[in-house]
Structure 1
Amino acid sequence: MKQILLDVTQRITERSAATRSAYLRRVDAAIQRPRGSDRMGCANVAHAFAALPSNDKLRIVAERAPHIGIVTAYNDMLSAHQPYEGFPAVIRDEAHRLGITAQVAGGVPAMCDGVTQGLPGMELSLFSRDNIAMGTAIALTHDVFDAALLLGVCDKIVPGLLIGALHFGHLPCVFVPAGPMSTGLPNSDKAKVREQFAQGLVGREELLAAESAAYHGPGTCTFYGTANSNQMLLEAMGLHVPGAAFVHPHDGLREALTREAVRHVLAITQKGRFTPIGRQVDERVIVNAMVALLATGGSTNHLIHWVAVARAAGILIDWSDFSALSEAVPLLARVYPNGAADVNQFQAAGGPGFVIRELIDGGFMFADVATVSAHNTLRDYGRLPELAAEGRVAWRDLPPDSGDDHIVRRADAPFSETGGLKLLTGNLGRAVIKVSAVPATHHVIEAPARVFDSQEELLAAFKAGELEHDFVAVVRFQGPRANGMPELHKLTPPLGVLQGKGFRVALVTDGRMSGASGKVPAAIHVSPEVLADGPLGKVRTGDIIRLDAEAGTLQALVDDATWASREVATISDAAVETNAHGLGRELFGGMRRNVRTAEEGAVTWL
């Protein structure tokens, strides 16, 4: 094992000793209780199973067969979640074949960030994660289940389901993905049309045609954003059936993998293999997830989400841990926006299995962690599933070399010796940057600040032709307390246009940039946020800002006396009113008031 991996894990373990011990005590206490239908009153049991067929009632109550709860994020608005419509029937059928029962315990909301980008609904996006966690808790709090299957794919949905499941840490759990959509218009071509539209070179009709050709069918969007990073991390945590992440929804293997999830969750409810999720997700498993994120240049959103996931298991991590690992973990994958390939090409080149095998063999991952797989080892996730006889799944070893070393590489010949994410510190606070997609010539930007209080202000300045020069865009009042910390993905095309014209540009913000963070250097998640008196609020238009991704610094080059004398900017009454009302934003006021910082996972439940 690489020493840095051991050092970071030890540091996390020591930091988390009290909270993790308290969490495990609660898990163990819940495990010691009698089964739900034995523990509950007769009226409770009758209500729980009233709608089930009589044979199922007999299995649960008389035969005491395992009863599986299904928590689903199905809706047919999200392309990635539309395939889930038929999953409960498949799961129930497989459960009956195995002599057990399954029941949809509840559904959770699932919003599409692609629909709400740049719109007021995006201000509910981050908080929807904790809403989903609470929805998961409501579903499972019926407390009649011996295990759970969790159906979700996209950005906030998987972290929300996982946070919710970890609050029921006494249950064995398996996550059941639905797979990516087939390849459409290449992501690089889509990005070009977006930039052309931003410049007024093409109209709305051409832009809509390009977007519709890129997002065109059931399944996850095919770029390596937050949704697909979720799937990579679940593989690295051993919470999927091995290799389930990136199989198309309509591939025959997909149904076989879904049925296999029922067999896997049944296996880990048995005495010899009992594996509750609260015990399974330990400090080493969290570190494995962090390594997988760094090695694939995954979504910056997970520097928020996985901090929250870890906290749900009593484990305390922060951005310094990510930064330390990033200095030693090699970058093994280039998938758009870090390269030209989409996730289908990534899968064809070896996908998560190839990456996990290389990381284990290179000493960058713990292989001897608990998983839901048949052999209870992470090495199972370094293999490839395929359809076998009678609709079953078999796994085969991957070849020694990648199917395409422009997409995936061996650990001894990486794209980079360091990971795809960096921590930035300085007199503007703490921030993160995704460097894997940024050209090396743009890793250091020093230019005058142009301060904006909203993304709309920046877009208006771009359209007015006011930004044809070197500058650092400071977009403030975008943190979780201010307006729910929306993604600012709409800023990518105009800033990309300006960079393409040869200007030295960068973005600095207390907001998020999204899992699609691209070629423009962006220091994001600046903490503390401006509304919490963060120093980013001291920046004035014209100040020289230095963003140095090589040194890991983010500085306003203002003399100390002037900097100390400045007041932090205050948000306007009009902005407060706008952020607090309309499209349901009123209902999330308590979350905005109580939310922790981005580096603390932006959690609202502590």
Structure 2
Amino acid sequence: MTARNDIQAITERIRERSRPAREAYLDRLDAAASRSANRAVLSCGNLAHGFAVCAPSEKTALAEDRIPNLGIITSYNDMLSAHQPFETFPQLIKEAAREAGGIAQVAGGVPAMCDGVTQGQPGMGLSLFSRDVIAMATAVGLSHNMFDAAVYLGVCDKIVPGLLIAALTFGHLPAVFIPAGPMTSGLPNDEKAKVRQLYAEGKVGRAELLEAESKSYHGPGTCTFYGTANSNQMLMEIMGLHIPGSSFVNPGTPLRDALTREAAKRALAITALGNAYTPVGRVIDERAVVNGVVGLHATGGSTNHTIHLIAMAAAAGITLTWQDISDLSEAAPLLARVYPNGLADVNHFHAAGGLGFLIRELLDAGLLHEDVRTVWGEGLRPYTVEARLGDDGGVVRAPAPATSGDEKVLAPAAKAFQPTGGLKVLSGNLGKAIIKTSAVKPERRVIEAPALVFDSQQALNDAFKAGRLDHDFVAVIRFQGPKANGMPELHKLTTVLGVLQDRGRKVALVTDGRMSGASGKVPAAIHVTPEALDGGPIGKVRDGDIVRVDAETGLLEALVPPEEFAARKMPTPDLSANGHGFGRELFEGFRQLATRADHGASAFGTA
């Protein structure tokens, strides 16, 4: 089944725009593949170092280049709940590789930081650029040229985008991404959010807040709300880089281990040494990118991916724009209600039919490209399944259920929660921005109110505690972009603005920073570009200016006479504190090189 005409037209637009960069990328991929880019080109000294710790039989096999060698890139650490399960994965992968007649080696480890730990802390200034560090660390691991394919162990916010950027840089190698799965359900996310608001209002203490947070984030696995981490897993599956049905199986279960073994064996099966060679640079093409964007909209996914998807696509020579993302949002209906777009968590989503159901609904509606290449083979239809544990301990697959197990969580395309995906581009005299409307009630999608200007989220929170914000306003938080301070998430604003909105105040946020993948009920024009430090007009807004945030018509305006607005001088902020402490001094070069948010906010530039 082919995609609908509007989906096809946007895809073709991306293809034509990207043609020069994409053709150059594929030429490099083919050249790397033709050079036998593996152990055959290594000298004896090179190779001896590369297999020094291997068993004698493995050394013989690697020396003769007879069997595939699988590189493992891992983001394991035991502080992150989402990444702690990866501790046991390398051994599972090595065992599976031996069973399949191959070898596996840990090629390298990459850093993995948790935005949940660093929210509102100085370390958050490293978060966005950790994506680029992860890509570079992955490249170091693969630079030894010992491998015929690679598997990537990553889950959370910047880790998967960084891994994919690197995988595409080594686009001649097959790549399979292996998830760890979400933690089991704990305290419901909406109950946790209520306790956060009570704490912000001084109605409960720190002990009560910590108890609620600990009951929500309580064990191994991904946080259960639908933020960037779980959006990552959806993307890897719908773009064909997971094996089918693997995204949302809980860690520490027999099925999770079986899926990990199967993924390793599949990676070995698609190397150039066999008959099903599947380089990752051919899997990720314009159609796969469009499928990822449609999946993001259909599930109400993270706003962070309006940055990450652009950077990931660029690594494959594909130029994706915010306008493409916005136009696809108009075409793709919202089929999932997972917190913060609903009360359910990802375990409820998975139980209701999960990605297998969702992909089938989107395919049958003509909203996805079916004729894509995946790590599983040709076509996306094999992903319309759910994975189960077979009697022999292996993975068996059955068609996804014909009907949703809970239409309040996962709707069929014919009963979509809303006709659009809920991510929209705003533009006007303040620049361009992204707004996520899927969790915002329709009556709150247009806000016109006086501006209150702050240069940090802490300044706004201090004003709230001082009782100065109990009225209608648009909060303008500037100097939060990639060049200013690494573009941290301003997650601590969510609770305060949510409290004021619940009191009946009309509030909105305008910022050149980011919000969490859990951006919720408050209208927020985020990623404003150009950023203030780059001369962006958001820096010219003054207290009392009437600002209009209109998610219906796509307008972001300061209602100031054009002559007056143009004549205003940009402020000169003191950002010296952003450059020191918690390792931030090491990232000065990243801040200087960073591209705009709508170009991927990358130190690597664009395609």
Common topology (TM > 0.5): yes
> Are 1:280 and 2:297 matched, yes or no?
no
For 1:244 and 1:107, how far apart are their aligned partners in 2? 22
2:425 aligns with: 423
> Are 1:355 and 2:358 matched, yes or no?
yes
Cα deviation digits, residues 362-382 of structure 1 (max 9, x gap): 000001100011x42211111
For 2:37 and 2:461, how far apart are their aligned partners in 1? 57
For 1:125 and 1:60, how far apart are their aligned partners in 2? 38
Please state whether the residue corresponding to 1:273 is helix, strand or coil: coil
2:578 aligns with: 579
For 1:356 and 1:439, how far apart are their aligned partners in 2? 26
2:603 aligns with: 604
Superposition TM-score, scaled by structure 1 size? 0.98
| Higher mean displacement: 43-52 or 390-399 | 390-399
* Residues 67, 101 of structure 2: 8 Å contact kept: yes
1:60 maps to amino acid:
L
Q: 1:252 to 1:320 in 2, by over 3 A?
A: same
For 1:104 and 1:28, how far apart are their aligned partners in 2? 26
For 1:118 and 1:12, how far apart are their aligned partners in 2? 37
Matches within 5 A, 1:122-271: 122-269=124-271, 270-271=273-274
The one of 385, 388, 391 equivalent to 1:386 is 388
> Are 1:22 and 2:24 matched, yes or no?
yes
Q: C-alpha displacement at 1:551, in angstroms?
A: 0.5
* Residues 330, 417 of structure 1: 8 Å contact kept: yes
Q: C-alpha displacement at 1:63, in angstroms?
A: 5.6
Cα deviation digits, residues 41-96 of structure 1 (max 9, x gap): 00000000101111211222236100000000000010000000010000000111
Please state whether the residue corresponding to 1:391 is helix, strand or coil: coil
Cα deviation digits, residues 159-209 of structure 1 (max 9, x gap): 000001100000001000000000000000000000000000000000000
- Pairwise CA RMSD of aligned residues? 0.8
1:591 aligns with: 590
2:586 maps to amino acid:
L
1:38 aligns with: 40
Superposition TM-score, scaled by structure 2 size? 0.98
> Are 1:364 and 2:367 matched, yes or no?
yes
2:327 aligns with: 324
Cα deviation digits, residues 404-432 of structure 1 (max 9, x gap): 00000111110011112111111100000
1:452 aligns with: 454
> Are 1:298 and 2:298 matched, yes or no?
no
* Residues 67, 144 of structure 1: 8 Å contact kept: yes
2:568 aligns with: 566
* Residues 154, 220 of structure 1: 8 Å contact kept: yes
Q: C-alpha displacement at 1:390, in angstroms?
A: 1.8
* Residues 388, 394 of structure 1: 8 Å contact kept: yes
For 2:565 and 2:39, how far apart are their aligned partners in 1? 64
* Residues 296, 420 of structure 1: 8 Å contact kept: no
Cα deviation digits, residues 528-566 of structure 1 (max 9, x gap): 000000010110000000000011111111111111111
Cα deviation digits, residues 270-314 of structure 1 (max 9, x gap): 543111001111010000000000111100000000100000000
* Residues 39, 65 of structure 2: 8 Å contact kept: no
> Are 1:341 and 2:305 matched, yes or no?
no
Q: C-alpha displacement at 1:35, in angstroms?
A: 5.2
* Residues 196, 202 of structure 1: 8 Å contact kept: yes
The one of 72, 87, 93 equivalent to 1:70 is 72
1:435 aligns with: 437
For 2:100 and 2:88, how far apart are their aligned partners in 1? 19
* Residues 297, 333 of structure 1: 8 Å contact kept: yes
* Residues 234, 247 of structure 2: 8 Å contact kept: yes
* Residues 130, 160 of structure 1: 8 Å contact kept: yes
For 1:202 and 1:549, how far apart are their aligned partners in 2? 34
Please state whether the residue corresponding to 1:358 is helix, strand or coil: helix
Q: 1:35 to 1:473 in 2, by over 3 A?
A: closer
1:110 maps to amino acid:
A
* Residues 4, 324 of structure 1: 8 Å contact kept: no
Matches within 5 A, 1:427-576: 427-572=429-574, 576=575
Cα deviation digits, residues 508-543 of structure 1 (max 9, x gap): 000001101010000000000000000101100000
2:292 aligns with: 289
Number of corresponding residues: 602
Matches within 5 A, 1:109-124: 109-124=111-126
* Residues 222, 342 of structure 1: 8 Å contact kept: yes
2:505 maps to amino acid:
F
1:406 aligns with: 408
For 1:561 and 1:48, how far apart are their aligned partners in 2? 66
* Residues 40, 65 of structure 2: 8 Å contact kept: no
1:480 maps to amino acid:
P
Q: C-alpha displacement at 1:434, in angstroms?
A: 0.7
* Residues 238, 359 of structure 2: 8 Å contact kept: yes
> Are 1:314 and 2:313 matched, yes or no?
no
Cα deviation digits, residues 25-44 of structure 1 (max 9, x gap): 00000000135222110000
For 1:368 and 1:21, how far apart are their aligned partners in 2? 20
For 1:37 and 1:543, how far apart are their aligned partners in 2? 64
Q: C-alpha displacement at 1:158, in angstroms?
A: 0.2
User: Where in structure 2 are there 5+ consecutive unaligned residues?
Assistant: none
Cα deviation digits, residues 549-584 of structure 1 (max 9, x gap): 011111111111111111122222xxx210010110
Q: 1:543 to 1:63 in 2, by over 3 A?
A: closer
> Are 1:395 and 2:405 matched, yes or no?
no
1:3 aligns with: 5
Please state whether the residue corresponding to 2:93 is helix, strand or coil: helix
For 1:175 and 1:353, how far apart are their aligned partners in 2? 17
* Residues 59, 100 of structure 1: 8 Å contact kept: no
2:378 aligns with: 376
Q: C-alpha displacement at 1:144, in angstroms?
A: 1.0
Please state whether the residue corresponding to 2:573 is helix, strand or coil: coil
Please state whether the residue corresponding to 1:465 is helix, strand or coil: coil
1:604 maps to amino acid:
A
For 1:420 and 1:400, how far apart are their aligned partners in 2? 26
For 1:26 and 1:560, how far apart are their aligned partners in 2? 48
For 1:597 and 1:551, how far apart are their aligned partners in 2? 24
* Residues 303, 517 of structure 2: 8 Å contact kept: yes
Please state whether the residue corresponding to 1:327 is helix, strand or coil: helix
For 1:250 and 1:44, how far apart are their aligned partners in 2? 38
After TM superposition, the runs of 4+ consecutive aligned structure 1 residues lying more than 6 A away are: none
* Residues 469, 503 of structure 1: 8 Å contact kept: yes
| Higher mean displacement: 376-385 or 88-97 | 376-385
Q: C-alpha displacement at 1:243, in angstroms?
A: 0.9
1:243 maps to amino acid:
G
User: Where in structure 1 are there 5+ consecutive unaligned residues?
Assistant: none
For 1:63 and 1:533, how far apart are their aligned partners in 2? 55
For 2:134 and 2:422, how far apart are their aligned partners in 1? 28
Q: C-alpha displacement at 1:351, in angstroms?
A: 1.1
For 1:149 and 1:327, how far apart are their aligned partners in 2? 35
